[in-house]
Amino acid sequence: MSVTPATGREWHLVARPQGWPKPEDFALREVPVAEPGPGEILVRNLYMSVDPYMRGRMNDVKSYVPPFQLDQPMEGGAVGKVLVSNADGIEVGDHVLHSSGWREYAVVADKSAVKVSPETAPLPAYLGVLGMTGLTAYAGLLEVASFKEGDAVFVSGAAGAVGSQVGQIAKLKGASRVIGSAGTDEKVRLLVDEYGFDAAFNYKTGSVTEQLKEAAPDGIDVYFDNVGGDHLEAAIDRLNLHGRITVCGMIAQYNVTEPPAAPRNLGLVIGKRLRIQGMLVSDHQHLKEQFFEEVGAWVRDGELRYRETVVKGVENGVDAFLGVLRGDNIGKMIVSFED
């Protein structure tokens, strides 16, 4: 008797959003569950990740990753338990990390699955602090921004999954000052009181440029950009000579329908000899072993703290995603499929 369930639910993109995505742009559909073929496994997803970059994949434009196809299941990081295995080295009952999220059951090629252990770390951690977002923070600060001891660092969207780790890693590596921006007073307190930022401000309650000037009177050396727009303009204004900018994301622009007004001061890049570099975490896989070793130790020792916002139920997957775009989450947004 097969252990493969007859059907499972999965989220499909049914219309390409114009501006902010709407619930009616998505559909939760019940579909037959396929049997895995040779070299494949069937996974019951337990947790899935929802991330800001997914908004870009909803547009039918050429980019670094293909767009989501209409009336097909969307994709994203997920951790699940193996129900059926036709793959060498992966057994029934193993837990795996893969990229076929947004669905209850997934048939995954063995080469696309990585075994993870719930004894080593909680399973959701492999989607956040020890997953793609964690590696993004680690590589974006240390490799892309060429961080060095004594640098002053500004992080936008600092209470999110990536930003919160960037600031803490900078402190652990000897930053002279770490500043973060966030969208609520609660998040500002979290940055200072729990994550150890030297200063933080609420970008919704005043000018980003003026608040950053007050928080960084001696300027900054590194800006880790998750927001773009007025944050990027403010950072360019405060960056010291030979400052570096890692552009990880520009969430302020993901849903706009008109060109952004800022930054208006790009001419300063010349005189200050600034370096601006975009990043994709896929370019930094060579750091994975070093990342696991160093960040894993910080997490085990309690030196690096992290938060997760968990939304329960596959049926609430789109609500969780829209919440990320609104900034509702503190730390990594996770959707749990567990009962």
pLDDT of res. 1: 43
Check residue 70 and report its DSSP letter: B
In CATH terms, the fold of domain 136-282 is Rossmann fold (3.40.50)
State the pTM of this model: 0.88
pLDDT for 257 equals 63
Report CA-CA distances (Å) from 174 to 38, 47, 116, 178: 50, 34, 31, 10
Domain parsing of the chain, residue ranges: 7-128+306-336, 136-282
Architecture per CATH, 7-128+306-336: Alpha-Beta Complex (3.90)
Collapse the DSSP code of 159 into the 3-class scheme (helix H, G, I; strand E, B; otherwise coil) and give the result. coil
Exposed/middle/buried for residue 177 (C-beta within 10 Å: 0-12, 13-18, 19+): buried
Q: How many C-beta atoms surround the C-beta of residue 294 within 10 A?
A: 17
Can you give the pLDDT of all 339 residues of the chain as single tens digits?
457 899 999 999 999 999 999 999 999 999 999 999 999 999 999 999 999 899 999 999 888 889 999 999 999 999 999 999 999 999 999 999 999 999 999 999 999 999 999 988 899 999 999 999 999 999 999 999 999 999 999 999 999 999 999 999 999 999 999 999 999 999 999 999 999 999 999 999 999 999 999 999 999 999 999 999 999 999 999 999 999 999 998 876 766 667 777 788 989 999 999 999 999 999 999 999 999 899 999 999 999 999 999 999 999 999 999 999 998 998 899 999 976
Which residue type, as a one-letter code, is found at position 198? D
Tokens 């590589």, located at residue: 139
Tell me how far apart the alpha carbons of residues 207 and 210 are, in angstroms, rounded to a whole number.
Answer: 5
Ranges of H-type helices in the chain: 132-139, 161-172, 185-193, 208-215, 229-238, 268-271, 288-300, 317-326
Backbone φ, ψ for residue 42 (5° rounding): -105, 125
